[in-house]
Structures are given as structure tokens and as C-alpha cells.
Amino acid sequence: MTMFMFATGIENSYPTVGGKRVDEMAKCGHYKYWREDFAAVTELGIHYLRYGPPIHTTWLGEGKYDWSFTDMTFGELLKRDITPIVDLCHFGLPDWLGDFQNPDFPPLFARYAGEFARRFPWVQLYTPINEMFICAIFSAKYGWWNEQLTSDHSFVTALKHLVQANVMAMQAILDARPDAIFIQSESSEYFHADNPAAIGPAEVLNALRFLSLDLNFGRRVGSEMYQYLLDNGMTREEYDWFMHTRLKQHCIMGNDYYLTNEHRVAADGSSRASGEVFGYDGITWQYFDRYRLPVMHTETNFADYEHGGQASVEWLWKQWSSVLRVRNDGIPIVGFTWYSLTDQVDWDSALRADVGRVNPLGLYDLDRNVRPVGTAYKQLIHDWGMILPTQSVCMIVPTVRPSEYHDAWAARRRSEAEAMRRAKSPQPDPTGSDSTPQA
């Protein structure tokens, strides 16, 4: 097994758009071809898979679950010894729970996460909630998904509920699997000022992009962002809870980078895509300097409509070169991900136009034929898989393969992790009651 975490993912977005559920697993055929999809992961020599159960068909109500599909799929992952990085919430909630304005979401989601972790104790790696910043801004600031709201207050409400849910889910998972590791996948953004008058708006946007991870990792925000949070509905008690409920020591900072992650900002605060300017390596340094955590490149792809697959191969090469660059410059980088395994559908409109447009982004097309970038990725893994871990700045994550879960050394590691958690002094409770944030 390669020790560097080469990964891919099964696209499992499921927001509601205009009252209609958009399910990428259905659009991409995964419910029909899940066995073929897992076989493709094995064929490429990939051992790590970003994957999760469809929350809207699995979590049927408080304490009510349908684990049938999840039992089959995770049973196959266990059989194939593929290590899942479990994505429990990816841009949407079950209909019965509503949307991200719901204050009941965080404690209920934590119970769901705990139930999953107890049902699948061999799972160690998690992304409890994917891209919290993107989910909040698309749902509650741009008005595209889920609650479709457009105010700062609705954005802050969604963001605090998403991060509360993420942190509480980490606590619940650690109770079931004390050596769990959380790869917190978040979009790495940057906003460039178009002119001097745009410097101020760009600075605000460049502070906003860090809010989800600041709260998640318990890092104090600047005075302007603190005022912004309190002016838009976050209480001091809620903020203090984030600062004192620190689980950073269990985390890897996952950052996603696409051609659309950099933006040009006008004087009025509006923005548009700038294309690649700083690139993955330049922006990753900004995030690493802020959080000082091991890094995993958790998503990238390239839509290759006109170049016969070669443009995506070139993008893979460029992203991999950026990974090597940050590694050589001293960032402890532990993994890389091409996202996703198959082509996607309607992501060119951020899932807002249900027209069935296939986006050629995957390692395989939707007929499950390998694309040139899939072949190139397989070769890259073969060439580099055992080289990187010999470099001192390329850390080896203490993962336990599914097939190793019952080994004596793995059981000892879990016992030691549990003992450390029990010995740790209780965190102060800024709410004055219990560890649940006040809504």
C-alpha cells in the first residue's frame, strides 16, 4: 500500500435547488454502477476514496435510518480494503430537517455521525461536512441552493450551524473511534483587487474565506470579522464555544483548488473568476501559515470539452507539480485527490440548471471507460507512491487500513487514543450549561 494518500472521490452532492433535490450520485449512475465504480478505484491503484452515504435517503428522521445501501457499499469497500474518507454531509440535508437555518441541525447531525461511526467501527477517516464555506455562501448568501437566502445574517446563521454540526460530529465520532482523523475539505479561495478602490472589498472577502476554518479550528478571528459575526446573529457565547472546543489536533487541513478558485474584485464588491494567478502552491501557503496543520489536496479537476482529454492531463501535471513545490518548500503534505472518479453532470451551472449536461471531469466517463487523465493518474501513483514517504517533510498519516482494524497493534492504538481522551481535562463551557452551542 502506498503511504502517501492518493485519492479520488464519488461525487455525492445533493442540495435542493428551487425545491427539487439534485442528486449527483443518481445523475452519474452510481446507484446502478457502484460495484463497477469501486472496481475502477482498485484498477487505478487508488487506496483512498472520498465517499459517503446519501444523507437524504439514509437519515429518515430523528433516530430513523435506512442503512441498506450504505451496508452494501461499505461492505464492498471493506472487502476491497479501500480506505474511505467518509463525507457525511455534502451540500444538502434531508427534507424532514429543512435547511441550514435550522438550529436543530447541529445536535441532530452529531447523533447521526455517532450512529454511523458505531455501525462502521472500522472507518477511521472522515470529512463530516464538506466545504462548509461554499455550502453556506451558495445556500444563504448567493441564494442558489437549499434555503436560497441572500443576506449576511442568513449566511452567518448557515455558517455557524454548519461548523457547530461539524465540530459536534467530530466529538461524537471520537467517542466511537478515538483514533479518528478528520480531513477537513474546504475550498481554498483568493480575491484579487482589480484597482485601488477594490482593495477594501477584496480584503473583506479574503477575511470571509477563512471563517469556516477559523471557527472549526478554534482560531480567533480579526476584529472586523468578529464584529461582522456578532452584527449578523452570532452570540458571544457561541463564538466562545468555538474558541474553547478545540479538536484541531485530530485534523488534517484539506484544501480544494480549481481554476475557478481565484477571483477579481471590483470596487463595488462584485467579483468574477480570474483564472489561475497564484495557483495551488501560493494559496496553500496562506492557509498553512494560518493553521499550521498537515495538508491534503482534497479536490481538483479540469473540464476537458475540446482537447481530447489532454487538457485535463496537463492540469493533473500542473496540480501535482504544485504539490511537489509546497512539499519541497517545507509544507507537510500528506495526500492528493482527483475529484471525481467519474464525469459529473450539470456542475458547470453549480447544479442550478437541470439539463443533463455531462461535464468531462472524471478519471472515467459515465460509461465507465477510463479517460486519458485516469491513465495518467494511475501512472503518477505508480511512479511516486513509494518515493514521497521517504522525504522528511512528507508526513505519514497514522491510518489503519480496513483489513487491519482487528490487528492487535491497531487495537492498542485505539486504546491509547481513548486513554488520552479520558485523561484530557474537560474543556471550559462558555455557554454555562453543557457543550451544546446555543442556537
* pLDDT tens by residue, 213-238: 999 999 999 999 999 999 999 999 99
Spell out the residues 6+ positions from residue 362 whose beta carbon is closer than 8 angstroms to its own. 301, 340, 341, 342, 343, 344, 371, 373, 374
Q: Which residues does residue 370 pair with via DSSP β-bridges, in sequence order?
A: 364
Handedness of CA 93, 98, 100, 105 (dihedral sign): negative
Distances (CA, A) of 98 to 20, 105, 174: 13, 9, 27
Which sequence spans correspond to the domains of the chain? 5-423
Torsion angle, alpha carbons of 130, 128, 391, 417, to 10: 170
Instruction: Give CA–CA dist 299/8, Å, rounded.
Output: 8
Whether residue 412 contacts residue 176, with contact meaning beta carbons closer than 8 Å, is answered with no
Residue with the three cell numbers 474543556: 427
Question: Which cell numbers in the block locate residue 143?
Answer: 441564494
Predicted local confidence at residue 201, as pLDDT? 97
Torsion angle, alpha carbons of 322, 325, 326, 328, to 10: 160
Predicted local confidence at residue 395, as pLDDT? 56
Predicted local confidence at residue 421, as pLDDT? 84
CATH of 5-423, one of 3.20.20.80, 3.40.50.720, 3.40.50.150, 3.40.1390.10: 3.20.20.80
Distances (CA, A) of 59 to 21, 122, 169, 299: 15, 20, 15, 26
Ranges under pLDDT 50 in the chain = 1, 390, 392, 394, 428-439
Q: Nearest 5°: phi and psi at 7? A: -140, 165
Give the predicted TM-score (pTM) of the model.
0.94
HSE-up of 17 (CA within 13 Å, CB side)?
19
Q: Which residues does residue 344 pair with via DSSP β-bridges, in sequence order?
A: 359
